[in-house]
Amino acid sequence: MEERKLKKAVFFIISLTCFGIFTWGFVSILDEWKENEIAGFDNGVFNVVHAFISPKLTTLMTSVTFLGGVKWLSICTVGIVIVLLFMKKFPLALFVMLTVSLGAGFNWLLKWIFKRERPDIEALIEQGGYSFPSGHSMGSFIFYGAVAFMLFRALDKAVFKWLSVLGLSVLILFIGISRVYLGVHYPSDIVGGFTAGGGWLTLCIAVYIYFYKRSDWKYINE
Residues 13, 6 contacting (CB under 8 angstroms): no
pLDDT band at 125 (very low <50, low <70, confident <90, very high): confident
Task: Give the tens place of pLDDT for each residue, 59-112.
Answer: 999 999 999 999 999 999 999 999 999 988 888 999 999 999 999 999 999 999
CA-to-CA distance for 113 and 96, rounded, in angstroms?
26
CA angle 188, 39, 19 (to 5 degrees): 30
Q: By three-state DSSP, how is residue 35 classified?
A: coil
CA angle 184, 188, 190 (to 5 degrees): 60
Q: Where are the alpha helices (DSSP H) in 1-89?
A: 2-34, 39-50, 55-66, 70-86
More confident residue, 14 or 109: 109
Residues 107, 132 contacting (CB under 8 angstroms): no
Task: Give the tens place of pLDDT for each residue, 186-209.
Answer: 999 999 999 999 999 999 999 888
Closest C-alpha among 69, 189, 191 to residue 126: 69
